[in-house]
C-alpha cells in the first residue's frame, strides 16, 4: 500500500466538538460525563499519536500500491478498541456509527469506515516494523514529561499468565491437525502424490470418533506417527522449497516431540513432551506451563512481565492510584522469571528510564546472581529468597553459616569445614563451591543423625558463588522489619514495601 491517504479519512477537527465548546449549547450532564474521555482522547492522546507519524509512515511504501488508510487513525482505533473491549468488526462499525469515536478520532460525520480485516493487517505491520509498543512508549513519554513518572523511581515487578487464543488439543488431535495442515499445503501447490488419497480422506475429510476406546486411540496415535513419517521421508526427497516449508518443518517438530524409536526400531509415543512442545499447530509458539496461584493451575500460552511504579504515600479510600505501568514484556510460558527481569530492565532502558533504585519482587526473582547484580548496580532488590531444597530429616543449607569469600562453613554443631573446592562449569561458566566435613569430624559428632543421611559417611554442601548474599536475605526474612504488612500488587500478590 502507498501512503496516500484515502479521501474522506484525513484527520480534521470533528464538527461535534463545537457542541461541547460552544456555551450556547445545553449539554445534559449524562452526555457530558460520557463525552469526557473522548474529549480527552481528542485533545491529548490523538495529538500524541500524531508525533509518531514519521515512524508509522515508514511501514508503508511511498509510491506504490493502493492508497492506505491513515496509520495514525488506525493506531487511534486500536487504542479505543482496547479500552472499549471490542472485536475488530465492532470497532470498524464504531468508526462508522459511534459519534463518540468520531469525536475522539477527529473525524467528520461523513467520514466512512474501513473493512475490519484492515486492523489485522495493520497489527502485522506494527509487529513486522517493531512498533508494537509504540502507544505504550507514547503514553509513558507523556507521563514522564508531565512528572507523573520519574525516570528513576521505586517499582514492583511481577509476572502473569496469558492464555493463547486457541482451543485445547490432545496429543492425538495435535498430531492429526499437523498432518492435515501439511497435506493441505501440498494440495494447494498441486504436489500431493496420488497415492496419498487415503491420507487425505483420513486426516482432512474425517475426524476421530469421540466414542473410541483408549486402546483404539493409542492405535490411531501410532498410525498417525507412521503416516507423518511417510510425509516427512517424502519431503526430504524434494527440493529445498518443500523441505523448508513452514508446515513441513512444523510436522518434523511435532513428530520429534511425540515419537521415539524403541529397541525394535518401531516408533512409539514418548512418555512426556519436552519443555516448549507444540500443543496446537495453529499457534506453535504457545507453550504449556503451570502456576499454583491461578485458578486452573495450568495454561497454554505465554508469560508476561509487568513493572509498575510504587506510590510511596498511602492512598485514601476512593482515591485513584498513582501507580503507572513502566514495562510490559512477553516471554515464553516455560521461561523463568529471573531472565524476564533482565529483559524488563533492558526494555525500560530502551524507553529512556533508569534502573529503579528499589525493585520489589516475589521469590521467583531472588537468587544469588540477581542480588549480586543489583548490588553492583547500586540498587536494591527487595523480595523473599526461596527456601533451599528439603533434605528430609537432615539439616538444610539454612542451618549452616557459610562464608564463601573465606572458603569455610560452620555446621550446626559448630564444626568448621575441613575442605572447600571451587567448581566451574566449562559450558556455562557457572561457579559453585563445595564444602566438606571429613569422616573424623562427622563420625564423632553428637548431631550426626541430624546432619548426615543414612547413605553418607560425611556431610557435603554445594552452594553458588553468591550464596553469602542469599544467606543474608534469608536471615533478614526472620527479622520483624522484613515482616511489615504487605500491600496488594497489580497481580493480586502481596509484596512488602518499606
Which pLDDT tens digits describe the chain residue by residue (498 residues)? 556 544 444 445 666 676 676 666 666 767 677 788 888 898 888 989 988 888 998 888 877 777 778 899 999 999 999 999 999 999 999 999 988 898 899 888 888 889 999 999 999 999 999 999 899 988 999 899 988 899 999 999 999 989 888 888 999 999 999 999 999 999 999 999 988 999 999 999 999 988 999 999 999 999 999 999 999 999 999 999 999 999 999 999 999 999 998 888 888 999 989 999 999 999 999 999 987 766 667 899 999 999 999 887 777 787 777 889 999 999 999 999 999 999 999 999 999 999 999 999 998 999 999 999 999 999 999 999 988 887 677 888 999 999 999 999 999 999 999 999 999 999 889 999 999 999 888 888 888 888 888 788 889 999 999 999 999 999 999 888 887 544 444 443 333 333
Helix axis angle for 214-235 and 171-188, nearest 10°, is: 30
* Structure confidence at residue 7 (pLDDT): 43
Residues 6+ apart with CB under 8 A from 476: 482
Residues 6+ apart with CB under 8 A from 36: none
Helix (H) or strand (E) holding 360, with range, is: strand 358-360
SS3 281: coil
Beta bridge partners of 156: 308, 360
* Structure confidence at residue 266 (pLDDT): 84
Helix (H) or strand (E) holding 40, with range, is: helix 29-40
Helix axis angle for 134-145 and 71-84, nearest 10°, is: 80
Cell numbers standing for residue 286: 504457545
Q: Are 332 and 276 in contact, with CB atoms under 8 Å apart? A: yes
Helical H runs in 236-297? 240-243, 246-258
Q: Are 450 and 440 in contact, with CB atoms under 8 Å apart? A: no
Q: Are 381 and 370 in contact, with CB atoms under 8 Å apart? A: yes
> Residues, the chain, total?
498
What φ, ψ does residue 76 adopt, rounded to 5°?
-65, -40
- Of the candidates 86, 78, 71, 73, the one whose C-alpha atom is nearest the C-alpha of residue 136 is 78
Beta bridge partners of 161: 303
CB atoms within 10 A of CB 76: 26
- Of the candidates 462, 461, 454, 457, the one whose C-alpha atom is nearest the C-alpha of residue 442 is 457
* Structure confidence at residue 260 (pLDDT): 92
The span from the CA of 141 to the CA of 352, in Å, is 9
What φ, ψ does residue 39 adopt, rounded to 5°?
-65, -40
* Structure confidence at residue 450 (pLDDT): 86
SS3 491: coil
Residue 201: exposure state from Cβ atoms within 10 A (0-12, 13-18, ≥19)? exposed
* Structure confidence at residue 109 (pLDDT): 81
The span from the CA of 207 to the CA of 95, in Å, is 41
- Of the candidates 497, 494, 415, the one whose C-alpha atom is nearest the C-alpha of residue 452 is 415
Cell numbers standing for residue 308: 509498575
SS3 55: helix
* Structure confidence at residue 14 (pLDDT): 65
* Structure confidence at residue 368 (pLDDT): 92
* Structure confidence at residue 6 (pLDDT): 47
- Of the candidates 413, 425, 405, the one whose C-alpha atom is nearest the C-alpha of residue 459 is 413
Q: Are 364 and 336 in contact, with CB atoms under 8 Å apart? A: yes
Q: pTM for the full model?
A: 0.82
The span from the CA of 395 to the CA of 48, in Å, is 60
Q: Are 305 and 331 in contact, with CB atoms under 8 Å apart? A: yes
Cell numbers standing for residue 441: 569430624
What φ, ψ does residue 188 adopt, rounded to 5°?
-65, -30
The span from the CA of 66 to the CA of 393, in Å, is 74
The span from the CA of 343 to the CA of 336, in Å, is 12
CB atoms within 10 A of CB 415: 18
Furthest C-alpha separation in the chain: 98
- Of the candidates 379, 413, 372, the one whose C-alpha atom is nearest the C-alpha of residue 395 is 413
Amino acid at each position: 500500500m502507498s501512503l496516500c491517504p484515502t479521501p474522506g479519512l484525513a484527520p480534521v477537527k470533528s464538527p461535534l466538538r463545537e457542541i461541547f465548546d460552544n456555551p450556547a449549547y445545553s449539554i445534559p450532564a449524562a452526555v457530558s460525563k460520557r463525552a469526557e474521555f473522548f474529549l480527552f482522547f481528542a485533545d491529548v492522546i490523538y495529538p500524541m499519536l500524531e508525533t509518531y507519524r514519521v515512524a508509522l509512515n515508514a511501514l508503508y511504501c511511498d509510491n506504490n500500491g493502493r492508497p492506505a488508510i491513515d496509520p495514525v487513525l488506525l493506531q487511534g482505533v486500536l487504542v479505543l478498541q482496547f479500552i472499549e473491549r471490542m472485536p475488530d468488526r465492532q470497532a470498524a462499525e464504531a468508526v462508522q456509527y459511534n459519534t463518540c469515536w468520531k469525536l475522539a478520532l477527529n473525524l467528520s460525520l461523513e467520514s466512512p469506515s474501513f473493512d475490519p480485516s484492515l486492523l489485522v493487517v495493520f497489527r502485522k505491520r506494527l509487529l513486522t516494523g517493531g512498533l508494537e509498543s509504540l502507544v505504550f512508549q507514547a503514553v509513558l513519554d507523556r507521563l514522564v514529561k508531565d512528572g507523573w513518572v520519574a525516570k528513576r523511581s521505586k517499582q514492583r515487578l511481577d509476572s502473569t499468565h496469558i492464555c493463547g487464543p486457541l482451543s485445547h488439543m490432545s496429543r492425538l488431535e495435535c498430531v492429526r491437525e499437523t498432518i492435515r495442515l501439511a497435506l493441505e499445503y501440498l494440495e494447494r501447490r498441486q504436489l500431493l502424490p496420488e497415492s496419498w488419497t487415503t491420507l487425505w480422506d483420513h486426516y482432512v475429510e474425517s475426524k476421530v470418533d469421540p466414542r473410541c476406546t483408549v486402546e483404539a486411540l493409542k492405535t490411531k496415535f501410532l498410525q498417525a506417527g507412521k503416516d507423518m513419517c511417510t510425509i516427512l521421508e517424502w519431503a526430504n526427497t524434494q527440493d529445498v522449497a518443500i523441505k523448508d516449508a513452514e508446515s513441513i518443518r512444523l510436522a518434523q517438530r511435532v513428530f520429534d516431540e511425540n515419537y521415539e524409536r524403541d529397541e525394535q526400531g518401531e516408533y512409539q509415543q514418548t512418555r512426556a513432551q519436552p519443555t516448549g512442545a507444540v500443543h496446537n499447530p495453529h499457534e506453535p509458539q504457545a507453550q504449556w506451563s503451570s502456576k499454583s496461584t491461578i485458578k486452573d493451575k495450568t495454561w497454554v500460552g505465554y508469560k508476561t512481565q509487568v513493572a509498575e511504579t510504587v506510590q510511596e504515600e498511602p492512598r485514601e479510600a476512593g482515591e485513584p492510584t498513582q501507580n503507572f505501568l513502566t514495562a510490559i514484556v512477553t516471554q515464553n510460558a516455560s521461561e523463568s522469571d529471573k531472565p524476564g527481569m533482565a529483559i524488563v530492565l533492558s526494555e525500560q532502558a530502551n524507553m529512556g528510564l533508569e534502573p529503579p533504585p528499589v525493585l520489589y519482587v516475589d521469590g521467583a526473582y531472588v537468587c544469588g546472581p540477581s542480588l549480586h547484580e543489583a548490588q553492583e548496580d547500586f540498587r536494591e532488590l527487595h523480595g523473599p529468597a526461596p527456601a533451599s531444597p528439603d533434605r528430609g530429616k537432615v539439616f538444610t543449607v539454612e542451618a549452616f553459616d557459610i562464608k564463601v569469600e573465606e572458603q569455610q562453613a560452620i555446621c550446626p554443631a559448630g564444626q568448621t569445614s575441613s575442605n572447600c573446592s571451587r567448581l566451574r562449569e566449562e559450558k556455562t561458566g557457572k561457579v559453585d563451591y563445595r564444602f566438606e566435613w571429613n569422616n573424623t569430624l562427622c563420625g564423632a559428632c553428637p548431631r550426626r543423625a541430624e546432619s548426615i543421611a543414612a547413605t553418607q559417611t560425611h556431610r557435603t554442601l554445594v552452594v553458588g558463588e553468591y550464596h553469602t548474599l542469599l544467606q543474608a536475605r534469608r536471615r533478614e526474612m526472620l527479622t520483624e522489619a522484613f515482616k511489615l504488612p504487605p500491600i496488594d500488587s497489580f497481580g493480586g500478590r502481596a509484596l512488602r514495601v518499606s
